[in-house]
């Protein structure tokens, strides 16, 4: 299987190494000619600096889009037009412009399209979802996601001010960059119907985007959710908590532990948590899931991009809410957005 990776930042480098580690063969990479690299890639990879040339010469089966967020849609569209299946790093885009057309084109050509939300492949979060769907804590009443990490610590080998996360023109900002948390709550609780948010640039970081955000989600199930994300926390933290009628589920990414409070027994127990778990495993599992989900002959793709588009719509609604100081009713959004959000509704 021939793969082309577009963008060779930290996640592009990880995907290139993982693609080889999974035995799918040496990938091709397309990136800026003079982009700084912290070290040698370490795997065999054919190298290009022009996307058109790479697509023409490689004729890839799969394209992994790992360049700045604002460039995702045009690159993904060119890959789809070239006949490739596409995995796009989160978020799917920095605006909804061209997103509906991208999904329509992928569907028309029978190509798979998936937004890469790797936390779904962490065993602790996956176990949390199973327990929630089994109603281990009863009906979910509220949910909380909390994530923060000091931006300059992310990639110490580069100037944080030049990275996409720090720049509005490249689709940065805490809300879009940490859209993992929005995806996780939708994946766990279901589709939201309204969004209210406040954002700020409170720190001395030299960026032109928000560094802190608080987001309130009102879910179709009547549960209430809250999301805190920031670029300023000097000790990184990522947690998710679900409160149900009969207990609590609490996942701690740094401690790699899922805890379950049983209200009847009035005690906590550990549901999942392997201290030897390697973080890269979820990225390997994500790539394997994508490849195994590619459509076979006469079978339409199950990976249709709708959930990635839905999370993008929720993130953009949060930014719009903060800008205008009002709640955004997602039921008043356009037909395409409502359709994307419906992909998070659980079967009756």
Residue 39 has pLDDT above 80, yes or no: no
Mean pLDDT is lowest, of 1-10, 115-124, 297-306, for 297-306
Q: Residue 348 has what pLDDT?
A: 42
| Interval 82-97: pLDDT, tens | 999 999 999 999 999 9
Q: Where in the chain is the domain with CATH 3.30.360.10?
A: 123-274+305-342
Dist. CA 48–CA 329, nearest whole Å: 44
What torsion, rounded to 10 degrees, do the Cα atoms 91, 97, 102, 105 define? 170
Q: Residue 157 has what pLDDT?
A: 85
What is the third-level CATH fold of 123-274+305-342?
A: Dihydrodipicolinate Reductase; domain 2 (3.30.360)
Instruction: Name the packing angle between helices 72-81 and 99-109 (round to 10°).
Output: 20
Residue with more model confidence, 218 or 42: 218
CB neighbours of residue 225 within 10 Å: 24
Residue 36, H or E segment:
none
| Interval 263-318: pLDDT, tens | 999 999 999 999 889 999 999 999 999 999 998 655 556 689 999 999 999 999 99
| Interval 137-188: pLDDT, tens | 999 999 999 999 999 999 888 899 999 999 999 999 999 999 999 999 999 9
Q: What is the mean pLDDT of residues 196-201?
A: 98
- Report pTM: 0.95
Q: Residue 275 has what pLDDT?
A: 85
3-state secondary structure of 154: coil
| CATH code assigned to 3-118 | 3.40.50.720
Q: Where in the chain is the domain with CATH 3.40.50.720?
A: 3-118
Dist. CA 146–CA 185, nearest whole Å: 11
Q: How far, CA to CA in Å, does 341 sit from each of 101, 294, 319?
A: 17, 23, 17
Angular region, 345: left φ>0, alpha ψ -120 to 50, beta rest: beta
Please report the DSSP string for 275-322 in residue order.
Answer: TT--THHHHHHHHHHHHHTS--TT---S-BSHHHHHHHHHHHHHHHHH
């Amino acid at each position: 299987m021939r793969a082309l990776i577009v963008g060779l930042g930290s996640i592009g480098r990880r995907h290139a190494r993982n693609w080889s580690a999974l035995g799918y063969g040496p990938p091709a990479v397309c990136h800026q000619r003079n982009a700084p690299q912290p070290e040698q890639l370490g795997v065999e990879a054919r190298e290009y600096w022009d996307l058109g040339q790479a697509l023409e010469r490689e004729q890839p089966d799969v394209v992994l889009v790992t360049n700045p967020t604002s460039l995702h849609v045009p690159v993904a569209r060119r890959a789809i037009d070239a006949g490739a299946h596409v995995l796009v790093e989160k978020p799917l885009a920095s605006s909804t412009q061209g997103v509906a057309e991208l999904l329509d084109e992928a569907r028309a050509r029978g190509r798979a399209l998936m937004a890469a939300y790797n936390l779904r492949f962490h065993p602790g979060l996956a176990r949390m979802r199973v327990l929630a769907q089994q109603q281990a804590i009863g009906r979910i009443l509220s949910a909380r996601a909390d994530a923060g990490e000091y931006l300059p610590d992310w990639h110490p080998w580069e100037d944080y001010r030049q990275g996409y996360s720090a720049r509005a023109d490249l689709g940065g900002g805490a809300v879009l960059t940490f859209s993992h948390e929005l995806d996780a709550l939708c994946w766990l609780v279901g589709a939201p119907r309204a969004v209210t948010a406040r954002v700020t640039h409170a720190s001395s970081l030299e960026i032109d985007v928000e560094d802190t955000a608080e987001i309130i989600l009102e879910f179709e199930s009547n549960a209430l959710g809250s999301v805190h994300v920031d670029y300023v926390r000097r000790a990184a933290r990522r947690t998710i908590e679900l409160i149900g009628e009969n207990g609590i589920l609490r996942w701690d990414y740094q401690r790699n532990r899922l805890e379950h409070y049983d209200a009847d027994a009035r005690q906590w127990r550990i549901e999942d948590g392997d201290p030897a778990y390697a973080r890269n495993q979820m990225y390997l599992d994500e790539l394997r899931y994508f490849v195994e989900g590619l459509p076979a002959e006469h079978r339409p793709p199950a990976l249709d991009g709708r959930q990635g588009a839905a999370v993008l719509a929720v993130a953009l609604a949060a930014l719009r809410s903060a800008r205008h100081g009002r709640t955004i009713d997602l039921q008043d959004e356009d037909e395409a957005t409502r359709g994307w959000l419906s992909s998070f509704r659980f079967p009756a």
